[in-house]
Structure 1
């Protein structure tokens, strides 16, 4: 008998049941789920986590882990800007956004970094005061402002980039290149979903 295949199917059914996707006890629905969640060569195994036996869901574990990793990342980021002109990690993240994506409106910059408007405006104002960015009125619309990174801002970013890259590497240190690529895909899927949902 094909014992490995049977074992894989049993594990897949368990994962399907715990996936939080309103799993239906129906072969057709299960096959559709397999097509969406399993690539050729993949094997689904029943992952274990604290509280699983008492009913803690995968969704709960993922949300908690994301919050914890975010806090670790913030800690590494704060260490990376110690002794620099940056007050908070958000300031250099805003500069990285402008450096990589180009000038944009104040609203777009705040939205790109998933901030509430008041918090985003405070960050931008600090960057303006430090001379790291400047804002100019859009042609044809004096009320709208475009934010540009200045040479001073690029210099400040460049001076801390080695420390910032090291902080980023510390967060993902135990992952292999293949695992990092897979994680990027999964996180992008989550981000795209929530971006689209928030824009409705």
Structure 2
């Protein structure tokens, strides 16, 4: 059967995907993005710096600095920063006329919606924030009556927090506007492009989440050590 070879290749691809994600069950969406990425990838010649196109923000001066900026890894980081800033501006508009000020206010409240309660430190950790900025988010949500807090019976040094009915009502109102934000962020990508992007972003999320959980990056020296290990592993 001519289809046998195709089935064999698909099984092989599933095995590759599982090897890359040993800690979690892969989904059909994961597999679809993985296959599209495999089939669509090609040996694109981007030159020694990985530069594909001219960024309209850059002028004509200091070409040596631009060469640094457009090295492949640096360029990817640069694009992530741009995407983050666009997303924040859209989220800010979606939160107009609500007690929620920042994207972090929204995500903190959304996290609490899915838990009976959390400690303050747990919420700050899940929301990927530093203690100072995370504490400020909690203060705002408390002042707005969107969450409540109480002393932890097992640990008197800790306080538990939970979303209030008012917080739930607000979230379900905001969700509709945030759906528009999601569509705006994914922009003019086709479904297949979205699946490929989702697969690649999930791979990056798994990588960074592991380092976040294990607190492996706490200094400039840690950054150098981990990135050198990544390069060695690729080689």
May I ask how many residue pairs the two structures share in their alignment? 165
- CA–CA distance in 2 between the matches of 1:146 and 1:184? 34
Q: 1:40 to 1:192 in 2, by over 3 A?
A: closer
Using structure 1 for the length normalisation, give the TM-score.
0.72
How big is the shift at 1:54?
Answer: 4.6
Structure 2 counterpart of 1:70: 84
Matches within 5 A, 1:48-87: 48-50=52-54, 54=67, 56-87=70-101
Q: 1:57 to 1:82 in 2, by over 3 A?
A: same
Unaligned runs of at least 5 residues, structure 2: 1-33, 47-51, 56-65, 217-235
Structure 1 counterpart of 2:121: 107
Counterpart check, 1:192 vs 2:192: no
- CA–CA distance in 2 between the matches of 1:181 and 1:39? 9
How big is the shift at 1:192?
Answer: 2.2
Counterpart check, 1:157 vs 2:142: no
- CA–CA distance in 2 between the matches of 1:95 and 1:152? 11
How big is the shift at 1:173?
Answer: 2.1
- CA–CA distance in 1 between the matches of 2:201 and 2:116? 23
Structure 2 counterpart of 1:140: 154
Structure 1 counterpart of 2:183: 169
- CA–CA distance in 1 between the matches of 2:53 and 2:114? 38
Q: Structure 1 segments of 4 or more deviating over 6 A? A: 36-39
- CA–CA distance in 2 between the matches of 1:87 and 1:140? 33
| Contact 1:105–1:144, Cα closer than 8 Å, also in 2 | yes
Deviation by residue 1:16-59 (Cα, 9 ceiling, x = unmatched):
xxxxxxxxxxxxxxxxxxxx9996534314152338x9563111
| Contact 1:38–1:44, Cα closer than 8 Å, also in 2 | no
Structure 2 counterpart of 1:43: 41
What's the C-alpha RMSD, in Å, of the aligned pairs? 2.7
Query: Of the two structures, which has the highest relative contact order with CA contacts closer than 8 Å and spacing of 6 or more?
Result: 2
Q: 1:127 to 1:64 in 2, by over 3 A?
A: same
